Amino acid sequence: MIATALVRIRHGDTVEISGAYQYQARNSGPVIQRFWHYEKERSIRKFSPPMPGERVLDVGCGSGVVADLLASMGAEVTGIDANAKAIEFARATFHRPNLEFRCAFAEDLPYASASVARIYCLEVIEHLYQQQVRALLASFARLLRPGGVLTMTTPNYRGLWPAIERIMDRLQLAPPMAEHQHVTKFDRRRLRRVLADADWEIVRLVTFSTFSPFISILSWRLAERCAEIEDRADLAFGNLLLVVAKRRGGDG
């Protein structure tokens, strides 16, 4: 008799998250929170901007802020999220002819093989068990055309992030994260390994959003300058990891 390993599958978080969460955090939250979410937009513009006309997916789009940014840059964008309330909010808030939103689980993306130029997946993989992350990366590899580009972000658990997460949970500054939302904890080495195991070629792996969000209390412009310095320093203890990777089989 052959024993079958228990495969854990996660469909959504154990805490309810408002459909407007990312939009409110980016536009009306405390200044640190607003800069934190702005940093994702800045990093996309700097490290992995889409080309006009490219077919792009924003997987785990939440309330649609990043999907709208990508569409504003000329890409043909579909934002995807399993939170029906988030998709409802995004459809009511963002209106562009090159932007649509669909409610679906990340692992059930209904698109043809090699049909997408770029996939963005920001702060999603920490919400999934590791075997789900591997399956998701395989799905992304199928969807991307040869040389297609994957851009992901995730907290860095070998940096300052664990302390920040504990403080935010204790002060209830965001929906509970530790063990409620974040179930797989990545650091630079673990992220490299899971991508290498899935046969992805890493183009860039950097940390960001370390001190700059907190400096925004003093000055937004000063925080932007600090963010540029952090990019060059690529601090080992940076709060967030950003990886840009390519599907093998082309130059992209």
Q: How much is the average pLDDT of 209-222? A: 97
Q: Which residue has the higher pLDDT, 208 or 172?
A: 208
d(CA 139, CA 66): 21
pLDDT of residue 13: 54
21-247: CATH topology is Rossmann fold (3.40.50)
Percent over 90 (pLDDT), the chain: 77
List own/partner pairs for 132-136 with CB under 8 A and 24 or more apart.
132/8, 132/9, 132/10, 132/107, 133/184, 133/194, 134/194, 134/197, 134/198, 135/107, 136/106, 136/107
146-171, pLDDT tens digit by residue? 999 999 999 999 988 888 877 766 75
185-198, pLDDT tens digit by residue? 999 999 999 999 99
Q: What is the pTM of this model?
A: 0.89
